[in-house]
Amino acid sequence: MARGLRSMEVIILPDAEAVGKEAARRIAELIRRKPNCVLGLATGSTPIPCYRELIRMHKEEGLDFSHVTTFNLDEYYPIDPRHPQSYRYFMDENLFNHINIDKSRTFVPYGLAPDPYEHAEWYEEQIKKAGGIDLQILGIGHNGHIAFNEPGSSLASRTRVKTLTRETIEANARFFDRPEDVPRYAITMGIGTILEAREIILLATGEGKADAVAKAIEGPVTTMCPASALQLHPRVTFILDEAAASKLQRKDYYKYVHEMAEALKKQILEARMRA
Q: Is residue 58 annotated as a catalytic residue, yes or no?
A: no
Q: Is residue 145 annotated as a catalytic residue, yes or no?
A: yes
Residues 217, 156: Cα–Cα separation, whole Å: 19
Pairing of strands 38-41, 69-72: parallel
The model's pLDDT over 207-240, given as tens digits with 9 standing for 90+, comes to 999 999 999 999 999 999 999 999 999 999 999 9
The model's pLDDT over 30-46, given as tens digits with 9 standing for 90+, comes to 999 999 999 999 999 99
Q: Is residue 143 annotated as a catalytic residue, yes or no?
A: yes
Check 53, 75, 134, 145 and give the catalytic one.
Answer: 145
The one-letter amino acid at 275: A
Check 53, 74, 134, 196 and give the catalytic one.
Answer: 74
Question: Residue 213: which H helix or E strand, with range?
Answer: helix 210-218
Q: What percentage of residues in the chain have a pLDDT greater than 70?
A: 98
Residues 123, 70: Cα–Cα separation, whole Å: 12
The model's pLDDT over 89-122, given as tens digits with 9 standing for 90+, comes to 999 999 999 999 999 999 999 999 999 999 999 9
**264 C-beta neighbours (distance < 10 Å), count:** 10
Q: Is residue 233 annotated as a catalytic residue, yes or no?
A: no
Domains of the chain, earliest start first: 9-274 (3.40.50.1360)
Q: What is the mean pLDDT of the chain?
A: 95
Check 124, 134, 150, 241 and give the catalytic one.
Answer: 150
51 and 97 in contact (C-beta within 8 Å)? no
The model's pLDDT over 180-208, given as tens digits with 9 standing for 90+, comes to 899 999 999 999 999 999 999 999 999 99
Check 143, 149, 233, 241 and give the catalytic one.
Answer: 143
The one-letter amino acid at 40: G
What per-residue confidence (pLDDT) applies to 6? 63
Contacts of 137 (CB under 8 A, 6+ apart): 23, 27, 39, 40, 41, 42, 47, 50, 201, 202, 203
